[in-house]
């Protein structure tokens, strides 16, 4: 079958140095099954706010696998009117370019970008293709996290036009997927009249990045030059510094530990974002906190290789369910300390891959860090269970093979029959 994928945030497989994530890993699984692909991306890179190209481009990964770069401008801030206008322009450009491509059998589009998803639903309906919407962000609900809790009821009516678009998108989808069960059900809630028989959840599975030994050694040397001490007990955080991140509690916990004495706990932070300045101000005076800024995959591999603990530090009003970074910690065998409730908390409890704590509870987090620092056998057991949980639930190969098989089912392709059950011996 022919498959299109549409995503605004991932790095295309044609980009050197880019790490493969959800849609590239899925594309590999689909190609291995003999399917043809066109993957649609904007020329504007969301995370770095830089340009991949200054005009539309059609690139080839290999025969049968193309990347379509769509030029539609850009924006400066993660959140704002300019980003919404960018989505509209991108959706319009995709509508303009779609007729130039051979007819497709199935289109998979990731939310956020409801205007783009709406274009996908319309293109699929006009061409007889199947439309699949993959919920990766609760858009536009994410805007509410920028406001104090008391103001959120007042802001909800302002999101009504975006919610109406979501209702049209999900009502027109042939199937809905999500990066968690909760995200998938959130999408289904916009169109409860749908049958929903084919809807599924597939986590943001990743392959742990394993750089070349020389590159990894150079990254570790660079960390040491910046004052990082590889002999200290180390926790790490990878990700965007946004308002949904509760770094304040992490830094307050480290301050408590410093005041109490004992072996230091080192914190390595890879990333930046709107809250970067505030987080750095909060960390003033902490001797073992290192803000490393935007980091490439090799540097993050060096950081996770040095760390014992990965932090999923989210605020009380965060709406994330199972983000990709906690799964990356598990894939690198790190003990997980998570403030996320719901599905992530259940995973922590069921697998024993770490511990949960409440957002804002710095004493509880300090106690967990001290316990993992001071009890090597406990730490080793938690890390072993983290690695096992990753292999059992979140390894990319199994997840995206299952997702590729599911897309074949959505497209109406024949599915292999299960092997017949063994017969009990007679008598």
Number of domains present in the structure of the chain:
2
Residue 426 lies in a domain: no
Structure confidence at residue 260 (pLDDT): 93
CA atoms of 403 and 205, how far apart (whole Å): 11
Is 168 in the same domain as 225? no
Same domain (yes/no): 254, 354: yes
Confidence class of residue 415 from pLDDT cuts 50, 70 and 90? low
Contacts (Cβ under 8 Å, ≥6 apart) of 228:
266, 268, 290, 306
Q: Are residues 50 and 173 in the same domain?
A: yes
Let me know if residue 421 belongs to a domain. no
- 377 and 406 part of one domain: no
Say if residue 222's pLDDT is above 90.
Answer: yes
The CA-based dihedral angle spanning residues 65, 61, 45, 204, taken in that order and rounded to the nearest 10 degrees = 60
Plot region of 64 (φ>0 → left; ψ -120 to 50 → alpha; else → beta): left
Under 8 Å between Cβ of 275 and 245 = yes
Is the predicted pLDDT of residue 402 greater than 60, yes or no?
yes
Question: What pTM was computed for the model?
Answer: 0.84
- Which pLDDT score is estimated for 425? 33
Q: Are residues 405 and 260 in the same domain?
A: no
Convert the pLDDT of each residue in 228-278 to its tens digit. 999 999 999 999 998 889 999 999 999 999 999 999 999 999 999 989 999
Q: What are phi and psi of 406, to 5 degrees?
A: -65, -40
399 falls within a domain: yes
- Same domain assignment for residues 264 and 316: yes
Assess whether 218 and 361 both reside in one domain: yes
DSSP string, 192-233: TTS--TT-EE----BPPP---HHHHHHHHHHHHHTT--TTSE
The whole-number average pLDDT for the span 373-379 is 98
Q: What are phi and psi of 234, to 5 degrees?
A: -130, 135
Confirm whether 422 is domain-assigned.
no
Considering the domain architecture, whether residues 246 and 333 belong to the same structural domain is answered as yes
| pLDDT value at residue 416 | 52
Q: Is residue 92 located within the same domain as residue 142?
A: yes
DSSP label at residue 283: T
User: Residue 419 domain-assigned?
Assistant: no
Partners of residue 4 on adjacent β-strands: 38, 107
> Which domain CATH number covers 127?
3.40.50.2000
**Structural domain for 147, as ranges:** 2-205+395-411
Would you mind telling me the total number of residues written for the chain in this entry? 427
Q: Are residues 149 and 246 in the same domain?
A: no
Structural domain contains residue 350: yes
Q: Is 96 within a domain?
A: yes
Let me know whether 367 and 402 are in one domain: no
Q: Is the pLDDT of residue 97 over 80?
A: yes
**pLDDT for the residue 230:** 96
Query: Is there a domain that residue 417 lies in?
Result: no
Q: What is the DSSP letter of 395?
A: B
Residue 100 shares a structural domain with residue 42: yes
């Amino acid at each position: 079958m022919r498959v299109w994928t549409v995503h605004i945030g991932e790095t295309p497989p044609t980009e050197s140095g880019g790490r493969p994530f959800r849609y590239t890993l899925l594309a590999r699984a689909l190609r291995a099954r003999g399917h043809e692909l066109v993957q649609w991306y904007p020329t504007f890179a969301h995370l770095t706010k830089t340009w991949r190209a200054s005009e539309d481009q059609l690139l080839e990964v290999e025969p049968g696998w193309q990347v379509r770069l769509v030029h539609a401008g850009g924006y400066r801030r993660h959140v704002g009117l300019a980003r919404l206008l960018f989505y509209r322009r991108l959706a319009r450009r995709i509508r303009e370019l779609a007729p130039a491509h051979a007819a497709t059998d199935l289109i998979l589009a990731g939310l956020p970008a409801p205007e783009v998803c709406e274009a996908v639903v319309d293109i699929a309906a006009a061409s007889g293709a199947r439309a699949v919407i993959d919920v990766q962000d609760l858009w536009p609900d994410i805007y509410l996290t920028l406001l104090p809790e008391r103001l959120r009821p007042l802001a909800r009516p302002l999101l009504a036009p975006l919610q109406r678009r979501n209702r049209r998108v999900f009502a027109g989808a042939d199937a809905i997927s999500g990066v968690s069960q909760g995200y998938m059900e959130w999408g289904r809630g916009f169109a409860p009249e749908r049958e929903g028989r084919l809807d599924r959840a597939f986590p943001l599975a990743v392959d742990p990045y394993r750089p070349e030994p020389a590159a990894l050694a150079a990254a570790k040397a660079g960390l040491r030059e910046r004052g990082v001490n590889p002999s200290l007990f180390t926790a790490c955080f990878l990700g965007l510094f946004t308002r949904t991140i509760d770094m304040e509690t992490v830094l307050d916990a480290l301050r408590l530990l410093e005041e109490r004495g004992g072996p230091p706990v080192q914190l390595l932070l890879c990333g930046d974002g709107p809250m970067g300045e505030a987080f750095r101000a909060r960390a003033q005076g902490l001797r073992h906190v290192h803000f490393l800024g935007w980091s490439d995959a090799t540097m993050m591999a060096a950081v996770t290789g040095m760390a014992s603990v990965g932090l999923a530090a989210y605020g009380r009003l965060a709406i994330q369910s199972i983000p990709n970074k906690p799964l990356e910690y598990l894939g690198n065998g790190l003990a997980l300390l998570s403030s996320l409730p719901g599905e992530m908390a259940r995973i922590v409890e069921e697998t024993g891959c770490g511990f949960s704590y409440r957002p804002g509870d710095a004493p509880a987090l300090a106690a967990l860090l001290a316990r993992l620092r001071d009890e090597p056998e406990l730490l080793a057991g938690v890390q072993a269970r983290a690695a096992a949980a990753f292999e059992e639930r979140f390894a990319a190969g199994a997840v995206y093979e299952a997702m590729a098989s599911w897309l074949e089912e959505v497209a109406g392709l024949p599915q292999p029959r299960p092997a017949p059950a063994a017969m009990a011996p007679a008598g």
